[in-house]
């Protein structure tokens, strides 16, 4: 068995594993947003956090898959194969998928601090991953910049809203900040996300 086929097998394992966890997270987010009550089919007060979750989920999921493909499977873009880096990427992506599950569980407005904390943890893990990946010579610096900017906004909101009564304001700010971050990510890195 060649190194390429070993890599393909391991990539398939990790992609299946983090896809399952992300599917569970999406299911959990939907169950948090859809109501069991007859008079109210949706929890509209959860829409900002649900939207923020979706806007975080998709670029992470697509970015994980594209990274695995371009770095380990595509002969035109893959650096020399190193099993330790593949393990590192796979484990970090599984951790990120698990954090996304935690975010999905924190969609109700009363849990906005937990939601923010989980998003900040996700961003911290992603920035650490980006640092290692940049050291390998793989260009993911723009993601790290977006992570840092989004983290600064969320930390500012946490500080500003400390001790205040529960409102939808933090969820709305998070949704808007994540929408801007995701839009910039797709605009600047369109070729990475959608290249053949």
pLDDT tens profile 102-136: 999 999 999 999 999 999 999 999 999 999 999 99
| 159 or 196: which leads in pLDDT | 159
The burial class, CB within 10 Å (0-12 / 13-18 / 19+), for 135 is exposed
- Domain count across the chain: 1
pLDDT at residue 187 greater than cutoff 60 = yes
**In the block, residue with structure tokens 């929890």:** 43
CA distance 118 to 102: 7
Terminal C-alpha separation, the chain: 27
| pLDDT, the chain, mean | 92
CA distance 51 to 89: 27
Q: What is the largest CA-CA distance in the chain?
A: 61
CA distance 145 to 148: 5
| 139 or 92: which leads in pLDDT | 92
Domain that residue 24 falls in? 3-194
pLDDT at residue 2 greater than cutoff 70 = no
């Amino acid at each position: 068995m060649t190194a390429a086929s070993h890599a393909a097998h391991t990539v398939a394992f990790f992609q299946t594993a983090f896809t399952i966890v992300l599917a569970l997270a999406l299911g959990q987010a939907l169950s948090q947003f859809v109501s069991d009550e007859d008079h109210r089919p949706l929890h509209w007060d959860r829409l900002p956090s649900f939207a923020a979750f979706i806007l975080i989920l998709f670029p992470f999921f697509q970015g994980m898959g594209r990274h695995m493909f371009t770095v380990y499977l595509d002969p035109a873009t893959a650096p020399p194969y190193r099993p330790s880096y593949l393990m590192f990427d796979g484990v970090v992506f599984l951790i990120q998928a698990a954090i996304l599950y935690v975010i999905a569980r924190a969609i109700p407005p009363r849990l906005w601090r937990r939601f923010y904390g989980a998003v900040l943890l996700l961003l911290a893990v992603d920035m650490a991953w980006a640092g290692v990946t940049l050291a390998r010579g793989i260009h993911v610096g723009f993601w790290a910049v977006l992570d840092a900017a989004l983290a600064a906004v969320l930390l500012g909101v946490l500080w500003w809203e400390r001790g205040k009564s529960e409102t939808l304001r933090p969820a709305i700010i998070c949704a808007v900040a994540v929408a801007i971050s995701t839009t910039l990510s797709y605009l600047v890195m369109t070729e990475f996300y959608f290249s053949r």
